[in-house]
């Protein structure tokens, strides 16, 4: 890994601290030029370009009538960079809904014009060892030869890593409590009402399990009766639900701890995303807002899924080298 580009300055420390020698550039991808990328790759190296446009414009939470079309341009800009650089390998990740959109179809057309072998599909991070149900559209492409989607390493529910296996060993916390030796293992304080609500919640349940006096007024109205995805608890023996940039808030999804009366901590969220425990998010001795950390963790591609994609691309390179040797004979 030689360089990373992002418009969010908060990405710099985690990127450079965990990838020694890699360069970070704070930049809008729309202003990035192919010649800048070409100057970073070593001569003779296999060149990989990986990109991930923000998920929000394509998310099921987004209102397609009001979505900010300016954000859609980022996929178009990524296609432009592929065209300008002609890297050997390309990969991208986004929400499944992107698959049927005009921006994605245009991106596929650009890759085909560039003579890439392309494979794509919706993958579940749980099938690759992440203790989280996270379905994402993943694309891999190669100019070196055929490329295939990564094969699952944890194929099916009986092989998935569960919440219990992932975080059951962590110190117990009450809401508002901090773990003395882990600055990420901090439980947000709950209001008296939300404390009552989580105490009334069942593992795997929702606000529909509560006594009527605890139900929010918005959920009593017809328009809110179908919003069962908030104020929920996780289940011990299943993977966690999809982590989002708001995963540290109990009321923002099914982010209640399966047993303890609190929302999950950022340490638990990072584990559900499959980050290793020694991954550095913040400089020692320096602080970062919980909101910013939650954004970094929730927006990330789970490392376990990234590892599987990398293996698939590596196989394409190995297959190409083997084919070249056969031709040389």
Counting Cβ atoms within 10 Å, is residue 191 exposed (0-12), middle (13-18) or buried (19+)? exposed
Contact indicator for 247, 294 with CB cutoff of 8 Å: yes
CA atoms within 13 A on the CB side of 264: 38
Strand (E) or helix (H) holding 113? helix 102-113
How far, in Å, CA of 34 to CA of 240, rounded? 39
Neighbours of 65 (CB within 10 A): 5
Catalytic (active-site) positions: 55
Q: What are the tokens at 160? A: 């998935």
Percentages helix, strand, coil for the chain, rounded to the nearest 5? 40, 15, 45
Counting Cβ atoms within 10 Å, is residue 132 exposed (0-12), middle (13-18) or buried (19+)? buried
| Whole-number Cα distances in Å, 90 to 4, 48, 114, 144 | 14, 6, 11, 11
How far, in Å, CA of 231 to CA of 216, rounded? 10
CA atoms within 13 A on the CB side of 268: 34
CA-based diameter of the chain, in Å? 78
Going by C-alpha positions, the residue among 281, 273, 265, 257 that lies closest to residue 306 is 273
Q: What are the tokens at 4? A: 């990373």
Counting Cβ atoms within 10 Å, is residue 6 exposed (0-12), middle (13-18) or buried (19+)? middle
């Amino acid at each position: 890994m030689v360089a990373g580009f992002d418009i969010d300055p908060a990405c710099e420390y985690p990127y450079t601290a965990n990838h020694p020698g890699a360069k970070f550039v704070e930049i809008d991808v729309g202003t990035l030029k192919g010649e800048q990328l070409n100057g970073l790759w070593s001569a003779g190296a296999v060149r990989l370009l990986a990109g991930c446009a923000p998920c929000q414009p394509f998310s099921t939470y987004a209102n397609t009538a009001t979505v900010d079309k300016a954000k859609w341009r980022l996929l178009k800009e990524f296609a432009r960079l592929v065209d300008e650089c002609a890297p050997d390998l390309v990969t991208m990740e986004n929400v499944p809904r992107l698959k049927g959109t005009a921006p994605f179809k245009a991106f596929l057309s650009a890759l085909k014009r560039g003579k890439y072998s392309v494979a794509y599909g919706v993958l579940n991070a749980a099938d690759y060892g992440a203790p989280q149900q996270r379905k994402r559209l993943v694309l891999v492409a190669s100019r070196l030869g055929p490329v295939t989607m990564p094969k699952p390493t944890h194929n099916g529910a009986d092989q998935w890593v569960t919440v219990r296996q992932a975080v059951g060993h962590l110190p117990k916390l009450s809401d508002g409590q901090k773990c003395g030796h882990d600055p990420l293992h901090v439980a947000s304080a709950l209001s008296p009402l939300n404390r009552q609500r989580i105490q009334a919640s069942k593992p795997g349940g929702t606000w529909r399990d509560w006594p009527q006096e605890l139900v929010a007024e918005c959920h009593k109205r017809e328009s809110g009766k179908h919003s069962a995805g908030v104020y929920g608890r996780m289940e011990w023996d299943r993977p966690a639900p999809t982590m989002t940039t708001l995963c540290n808030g109990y009321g923002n999804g099914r982010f209640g701890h399966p047993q303890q009366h609190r929302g999950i901590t950022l340490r638990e969220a990072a584990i559900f995303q499959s980050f290793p425990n020694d991954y550095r998010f913040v400089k020692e001795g320096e602080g970062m807002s919980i909101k910013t950390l939650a954004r970094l963790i929730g927006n990330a591609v789970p490392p376990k899924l990234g590892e599987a994609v990398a293996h698939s691309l590596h196989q394409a390179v190995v297959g190409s080298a083997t084919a070249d040797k056969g031709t040389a004979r």
